[in-house]
Structure 1
Amino acid sequence: MKYTIITGATSGIGYDLSKVFASNKHNLILVSRNKEKLETIKHTLSKEYLIDVLIFTCDLSRSEEINNLCENIISSKVQIEYLVNNAGVGSFGPFYKIPENEDLNIIDLNIRSLTHMTKVFLPYFVEKNHGGILNVSSTAAFSPGPYMAVYYSSKAYVLSLTEALREEVKNKDIKISVLCPGPTDTNFQNNAKVKKADFAKKSMMDSSTVATIAYDGFIKGKTIIIPGFNNKFLAFFSKILPRKLLIKIISKVNGV
């Protein structure tokens, strides 16, 4: 049987991506630190959609745990069809005030773990000339992000890496896509202590809608998937606005 790996699968966009893939009859390998939530989701999805669900607990900010995760998945002798690198974290506030460990954790989870997982499974897809990777970035990738500087920078890395990999495997039967959602109604905002301006809060999208758009775009082979007109508008104008003006706008969006 073929399986789709989804990291950060127990909440937010990751959870809704799990449901969308399950509803389209993909067997799943779900990864998170929370074993209890994984068990609950496994029971729910396997029963409702009649699919097979494997679960693995892993702190993706730790390289040794990623090594163990990948070894365990490979030793399971299952066929991996898709990898969804969804796990991510953010922080909010002036760079010089955020504790060092918080920003380094963002780099470890948003950049290092995504790169690590991709380094393991992309060669596998290339060897089989089939498969795909969906990386979850953000509209934050299109601009500098005052008061969320490391988070925005990490998402720019994800966007850049994905576009580069897409070009490298363009002659192979491998899907490479990047999801760039804008503000989404999940626990991410609270966990990162984000203080969005009121007008930005009103434009938040539902995570289930984001996940559905992401799945459809990925299966169709789109490179960059941006859910929602407002987010497409933001991404477009971030390319043509003067950088100084863009940075001031992002500061306002972030409520500062």
Structure 2
Amino acid sequence: MNRDTALVTGASAGIGRELARQFARHGHDLVLVARREDVLQQVAEDLESRYGVDVTTIEKDLDDESAPRELYDAVHERELDIGILVNNVGIGTYGPFADSDLDRERTQLRLNVTTLVTLTRLFLDDFQERGEGKVLNVGSVAGFQPGPFMAGYYASKAYVNSFTEALAEEFRGTTLSATVLCPGPVDTEFQARAGMEDSAVGSVYTEPVEKVAKAGYEGVMSGDAVVVPGLPMKLTTALVRILPKPVVRRVARRVNSDR
């Protein structure tokens, strides 16, 4: 049984919580990170009682320039040996960019991109020293195309997708690996938090969060570079690659518009 400890950010709900469950089911000890300590503790107690693994919680709001380094230092202070880094934390903004809240757009960039890059770089030092390590970044099928009315979110996931694929190639032939999990609409609270309940996104198809997390776990453990859960999203991704860009943009605009 592989018991490499996995660190999961944004682990109190949604995909992060389900990814934590997948790792626990397969015998991995966990370090769970989120800003809601009470919820995080409930998740930890549930996983420990169900699966008999050790779960450490670290309360941390990663929307701060110094937060990734503080998290990394906290892991070392507790002498936790991380073998798998799961960068899941992130948010989405919705609406015309010209009307957007600039502070929230900056927060989106910090959480979706800057925090992910910083944590990856920091923990890669540890992985190289220990001789092995895995990175699982949560991207999105949104990252394969532009997204009118979610311009910043789609662009941030484009960075995550591209960044992770590049790392996967850099690591080819080594004991390190990088995997990007690229779900489409998922049955979580993400849309409500992004303020997009009235959009067409997810009105026709959503992937169960359990299946998305299972695909992510299997992908990172197999060393796959890209994981797109669900046949509908695999087909969507293939179409995006071959359709003319103007068509892709207009379809995305239609999907992201209010119903």
TM-score interval (norm. to shorter): over 0.9
What amino acid is the match of 2:125? P
What amino acid is the match of 2:200? A
- Alpha-carbon shift at residue 236 of structure 1 (Å): 0.7
- Alpha-carbon shift at residue 231 of structure 1 (Å): 0.5
- Alpha-carbon shift at residue 142 of structure 1 (Å): 0.4
| Matching of residue 30 in structure 1 with residue 32 in structure 2 | yes
Q: 5 Å matches for 1:76-95?
A: 76-95=78-97
Measure, in 2, the Cα distance between the counterparts of 1:10 and 1:244: 38
Secondary structure of 1:153's partner? Answer: helix
Equivalent position of 1:134 in the other structure: 136
Deviations 1:14-67 (A, max 9, x none): 010011110001000000000001111111111110000000011111122222
- Alpha-carbon shift at residue 220 of structure 1 (Å): 1.2
| Matching of residue 190 in structure 1 with residue 192 in structure 2 | yes
What are the ranges of 5 or more consecutive residues in structure 1 without an aligned counterpart? none
Measure, in 1, the Cα distance between the counterparts of 2:17 and 2:82: 19
Equivalent position of 1:10 in the other structure: 12
Equivalent position of 1:216 in the other structure: 218
Secondary structure of 1:133's partner? Answer: strand
- Alpha-carbon shift at residue 175 of structure 1 (Å): 2.1
Equivalent position of 2:121 in the other structure: 119
Secondary structure of 2:137's partner? Answer: strand
Measure, in 2, the Cα distance between the counterparts of 1:63 and 1:30: 20
- Alpha-carbon shift at residue 202 of structure 1 (Å): 2.4
- Alpha-carbon shift at residue 129 of structure 1 (Å): 2.2
Measure, in 2, the Cα distance between the counterparts of 1:162 and 1:209: 21
Q: 5 Å matches for 1:70-109?
A: 70-109=72-111
Q: Root-mean-square deviation (CA), in Å? A: 1.2
What amino acid is the match of 2:199? K
Measure, in 2, the Cα distance between the counterparts of 1:255 and 1:146: 8
What amino acid is the match of 1:210? V
What amino acid is the match of 1:23? R
Measure, in 2, the Cα distance between the counterparts of 1:169 and 1:213: 21
Measure, in 1, the Cα distance between the counterparts of 2:215 and 2:5: 20
Q: Which contiguous aligned blocks of 4+ residues in structure 1 show a shift greater than 6 angstroms?
A: none
Identity %: 36
Normalised to the residue count of structure 2, the TM-score between the two structures is 0.96
- Alpha-carbon shift at residue 212 of structure 1 (Å): 0.7
Secondary structure of 1:184's partner? Answer: coil
Secondary structure of 1:154's partner? Answer: helix
Deviations 1:58-111 (A, max 9, x none): 111112222211101012112111000000100110000011011111001000
What amino acid is the match of 2:82? I
Contact 2:149 2:257 survives alignment (8 Å)? no
What are the ranges of 5 or more consecutive residues in structure 2 without an aligned counterpart? none
Secondary structure of 1:81's partner? Answer: strand
What amino acid is the match of 1:193? G
Measure, in 1, the Cα distance between the counterparts of 2:215 and 2:155: 24
Normalised to the residue count of structure 1, the TM-score between the two structures is 0.97
What amino acid is the match of 1:62? D
